[in-house]
Amino acid sequence: MSEKNKQVVRAYVDAFNRCDLDALTKLFTSDALIYGVLGWGAVEIAKPIWKELNECLNANLQVEAIIAEENIVAVRYTERGKSVQSFRGSRVTGKSYEVVAMEWFEMKDGLIHRRWGARDWSTMAKQMELS
């Protein structure tokens, strides 16, 4: 079970990096909730945020460590990106960022049921000279 859950999370990372919102959506339960630094809610709330992160910041996740036990998967990433379009009203700087990001997944019936994400937005903004 743990290996299968890790495969689902790796598919999530792949779909996120490709900004394939349809593939991302299919990896979540119908009543999934997603919690992150930009807010929380159902998949429909997260989809425009994922799109914005990809289009505006070219956000990309690289799995550095992944661990699973029963229905829980925890991942540590290197997240990289670059300011290429205005993100939530910020100016475009063309500057890159690199931070450690963490996500915690609760799985249900082979899909993602809950996802919590944490990344250091302050450091990201500083590296991209958005502040």
The Cα–Cα gap between 69 and 25 comes to: 23
Please state the rounded mean pLDDT for residues 24-32.
97
pLDDT digits (tens, 9 = 90+) for 48-89: 999 999 999 999 999 999 999 999 999 999 999 999 999 888
Q: Could you tell me if 94 and 84 are in contact, meaning their C-beta atoms sit under 8 angstroms apart?
A: yes
**Which CATH class, in words, describes the domain spanning 2-127?**
alpha beta
The Cα–Cα gap between 64 and 41 comes to: 27
Name the residue among 117, 107, 119 with its Cα closest to residue 32. 107
Ordered by start, the domain boundaries in the chain are 2-127
Residue 74 burial (C-beta neighbours within 10 Å; 0-12, 13-18, 19+): middle
126 — pLDDT class (breaks 50, 70, 90): very high
The yes-or-no verdict on residue 1 having pLDDT over 90 is no
Instruction: Say which residue, 122 or 112, is predicted with more confidence.
Output: 112
The Cα–Cα gap between 54 and 105 comes to: 21
Is the pTM higher than 0.85? The answer reads yes
The Cα–Cα gap between 37 and 51 comes to: 15
The yes-or-no verdict on residue 36 having pLDDT over 90 is no
The yes-or-no verdict on residue 131 having pLDDT over 80 is no
Q: Where are the beta strands (DSSP E) in the chain?
A: 28-36, 39-41, 60-69, 72-82, 96-108, 111-119
- Percentage of the chain exceeding pLDDT 70: 99
The Cα–Cα gap between 108 and 103 comes to: 16
